[in-house]
Amino acid sequence: MRHPLVAGNWKMHGTRASVAELIEGLSRQALPAGVEVAVFPSCLHIAQVVRGLDGKRVAVGAQDCAVESAPGALTGEVAASQLQDAGCSLVLVGHSERRLILGDSDADVTRKFAAAQSCGLTPVLCVGETLEQREAEQTLEVVGRQLAEVIDALGIDAFAKAVVAYEPVWAIGTGLTASPEQAQQVHAAIRAQLAGQDAQVAAGVKILYGGSVKAANAAELFGMPDIDGGLVGGASLNADEFGAICRAAGN
Ligand code: 13P
């Protein structure tokens, strides 16, 4: 059985003071049993969050990692081994903001996925189509290709310890959410693609939905059979709202 996961991607937000407040707010939340919870602060705040949430049932992840897993001469990057050392257990790879704004290629994303796993971190592979691609009815093709890049390079067994996040680009930070049926269709296609290689791996992989998830729409989304939780951006910066989303995953 898959336990739901609710993950908060804090993106490039936070100061030491606001992060301290968020930690305190999260610490007060009643988190439902059987729901895994994770937050992804900026690299700068990982140590503060790991310390602040010590003993709580909240895992900490990073928003990206270097293509090389080991420390070395790569100015400005952070190695997966350093993230692991800092207390992270997960890392996002291939977020659309990195693919589309910062130029991460499919090959980069695959290397980051492999680097994360080689250090014992769980990669959260983000996939999703732009509005233009959706309107051209290319959604399943685009998402299928992003997924196939990693499966072809690393093999299906790599997904035995990975999470997939479907985040339609047009739904990120726009207030537009994919309808539960729209999201379910893509989630089912992702699982079917994995099942084409290994049914057992496919049945165990958590597939999260991301894109304007909030307390008001979470329960409906999480009620779909192939939606195993959410990757939450803006709403994760409010501890009470994020707590409510976590509780929606428990129902
Ligand atoms: P929003 O929830 O702000 O739309 O962001 C989604 C996202 O990109 C999470 O990774």
At 50, which CATH number?
3.20.20.70
Q: What are phi and psi of 6, to 5 degrees?
A: -115, 125
Who contacts 69 (Cβ-Cβ below 8 Å, separation ≥6)?
79, 80, 81, 114, 115, 116, 118, 119
- Which burial class, exposed, middle or buried, applies to 106 when counting CB atoms under 10 A from its CB (0-12, 13-18, 19+)? middle
Q: What is the pLDDT of residue 243?
A: 98
239 C-beta closer than 6 A to ligand 1: no
Q: What is the pLDDT of residue 8?
A: 98
212 C-beta closer than 6 A to ligand 1: yes
Structurally, the chain folds into a number of domains equal to 1
Q: What is the pLDDT of residue 1?
A: 76
pTM of the complete model: 0.98
Pocket test for ligand 1, best of 212, 214, 221 (most atoms within 8 A of CB): 212
Q: What is the pLDDT of residue 169?
A: 97
117 C-beta closer than 6 A to ligand 1: no
Query: What ligand 1 atom has the least distance to the C-alpha of 212?
Result: 4
Residues tagged active-site: 95, 167
Beta-bridged to residue 9, according to DSSP, are 40
234 C-beta closer than 6 A to ligand 1: yes
CA-closest candidate to residue 211, choices 152, 151, 143, 128: 128
Q: What is the pLDDT of residue 150?
A: 98
169 C-beta closer than 6 A to ligand 1: no
CA of 237 to the centre of ligand 1 (A): 11
Cα–Cα distance for residue pair 67/110, rounded to 1 Å: 8
Q: What is the pLDDT of residue 251?
A: 81
Q: Which residues of the chain have pLDDT under 70?
A: none
Residue range of the domain that includes 152: 5-250
Nearest residue (CA) to ligand 1, atom 7: 233
Cα–Cα distance for residue pair 59/36, rounded to 1 Å: 8
